[in-house]
Amino acid sequence: MAKARVWGWPALAGLGTVLVALTVGPVLLGKLHTHWPVWVVAGLGGTAVVATMVVKPLVQAHVKTLTDGVEAEGQRRQRQAEVIERVAGSSHRLPLVHDVVSRAALGIHPAIPLPPDADSNLSAELPSYVPRDNDADVQAAVTRMATTGGFLLLVRAPASGKTRAAAEAIRKLPQGWRMYLRSGSSSLQALVDEGVSLRRTVVWLDDIHELLDVAESGDSTGPQITSQLVRRLLLPDVGPVIVIGTTWPRKRDQYQKVADEGQPDLWADARRLLNMADQINL
């Protein structure tokens, strides 16, 4: 296709020039009272006819190639728009990280209800965050991945603050970073397959074990995450993309266990996926 684009127009221009010379030349010579032998004029006329027969199909083929290319690009953009709409709704764009403040959207567990006489400035949705010792490690990983891309996995028991710690870390990303939130069957796969730009996007995979369990069970109706998909997200020409997941220690240990000889290795891909991650035990 590239060679056709490079050589197509010069070739057509050359043939067109020959055609013009062969058809207009005799007329100009006639006006100048210069006479060519009959056999020369006949030969030129025949050559002009042949050149026309050659040029016309080439022009038609080149125009069809250009038209098909424009049509294919339009169809690709339409598919991208449909995928983004399924994921992001009527806004047709993934939300900005700094605009995602809903506890439920992030997957953060509800806080203990505030007492009736609590300070009115306190948020019942997201109470003031109390930093922990290894928050600096989480922040350092997110800051580094904002340049290089990467996969960060936070591991701790359920309802222990993993998701909130990750949410606090991404709040410090520069303006303009967007966020993918799980939103239905294979939506992330569809975004990647259709070539939707995910540059400077946080892929939020809270409780990633839910996706791994679905993938290994063979249930194609639910959302899935595979090592191949994450690897595609982390390619240099895609990102930087930051994939952030959370899971429990017992789930992580379950995936890391190799099956006994002769038994199906149900967690082989999950193990490959976790080995790609920078894991931090909170």
pLDDT of residue 154 exceeding 90: yes
Asked if residues 212 and 225 have their Cβ atoms less than 8 Å apart, the reply is yes
**Cα 60 from chain centroid?**
35
The CATH code belonging to domain 97-109+129-281 is 3.40.50.300
pLDDT score at 93: 83
* Tokens describing residue 231: 């690897």
Read off the pLDDT of residues 59-114 as tens digits, 9 standing for 90 and up: 777 777 777 677 666 666 666 666 667 666 666 788 999 999 888 888 888 777 66
pLDDT score at 239: 82
pLDDT band at 2 (very low <50, low <70, confident <90, very high): very low
What b/e string do you get for 137-171 counting C-beta neighbours within 10 Å, with b at 16 or more?
bbbebbeebbeebbbbbbbbeeebbbbbbbbbbbe
Mean pLDDT, all residues of the chain? 79
Using CB atoms within 10 A of its CB, is residue 277 exposed (0-12), middle (13-18) or buried (19+)?
buried
Q: What is the DSSP letter of 172?
A: T
pLDDT band at 124 (very low <50, low <70, confident <90, very high): low
CA distances from 231 to 14, 77, 225, 277 (A): 48, 24, 11, 11
Asked if residues 150 and 141 have their Cβ atoms less than 8 Å apart, the reply is yes
pLDDT band at 264 (very low <50, low <70, confident <90, very high): confident
Read off the pLDDT of residues 184-217 as tens digits, 9 standing for 90 and up: 556 888 888 888 889 999 999 999 998 888 666 6
Tell me how many degrees the CA angle 123-126-129 measures, rounded to the nearest 5: 105
Whole-model pTM: value is 0.71
pLDDT of residue 6 exceeding 50: no
pLDDT of residue 53 exceeding 70: yes
Using CB atoms within 10 A of its CB, is residue 65 exposed (0-12), middle (13-18) or buried (19+)?
middle
Asked if residues 44 and 26 have their Cβ atoms less than 8 Å apart, the reply is yes
* Tokens describing residue 272: 């490959």
Residues of the chain with pLDDT > 70, as a percent, come to 65
